[in-house]
Amino acid sequence: MVKTASVTGKPIQIKIFPQRLLQPQTAEKLLNEIDQVKGVIRMLIGGKNLPRKVTSGPGTGTDVNHPNLEIIHVGDCAFELHVMVGEVVVELKDECAKEELKKACERALPFSFEFKEGHFIKKKATLTDYGKYGFKSKTDERINLEDERILGLIDPHAKAENNLCIINSEEEK
């Protein structure tokens, strides 16, 4: 998931580890609270995959009707949640928004969570990014992107074509 905003200063990345895996309603509430924080550049959710089909055993190939495969709404974007959210990585413009982000998490989560600062999302193009987006030309090694904030957010193992959701494009909050 990408929340776009213009970048100024030195961006920082925060990883939020809730004490439990989040139900879709709690994940939606948390992501919407984070979406309201000024200074958020992008968010990335991660967690345990929710399979769509049975992969082994006597029921191989049949649909899995998991109750947590729900469509959630974040900002003006709706998407199906394919994971049980266990972590959220948020990139902020600078240190100023860090405390506001922590307060948003406290409002949304009814249980404790860890809040760690570090480097979690790649800032330069990876081999997977080049495979997905290609090169501008044979002589130019730069990747052909309209918005470089989606770098490092591609899952090479994802079977879904579009698992990226742009919430606000080029809009300063």
74, part of any domain: yes
Question: What's the CA gap between 135 and 32, in Å, rounded?
Answer: 35
User: Residue 21 — very low, low, confident or very high, per pLDDT cuts 50/70/90?
Assistant: very high
Question: Domain range for residue 28?
Answer: 12-122
- Which value, in Å, is the radius of gyration of the alpha carbons in the chain? 17
How many domains does the chain contain in total? 1
145, part of any domain: no
CATH of the domain at 24: 3.30.70
- pTM here is 0.76
Say if CB 172 and CB 164 are below 8 A apart: no
Report the mean per-residue pLDDT for the chain: 80
Say if CB 163 and CB 2 are below 8 A apart: no
> Measuring CA to CA, which residue among 27, 32, 46, 64 is closest to residue 120?
46
2, part of any domain: no
Q: What are 68-80's pLDDT values in tens digits?
A: 889 999 988 898 8
168, part of any domain: no
97, part of any domain: yes
Largest CA distance in the chain: 56
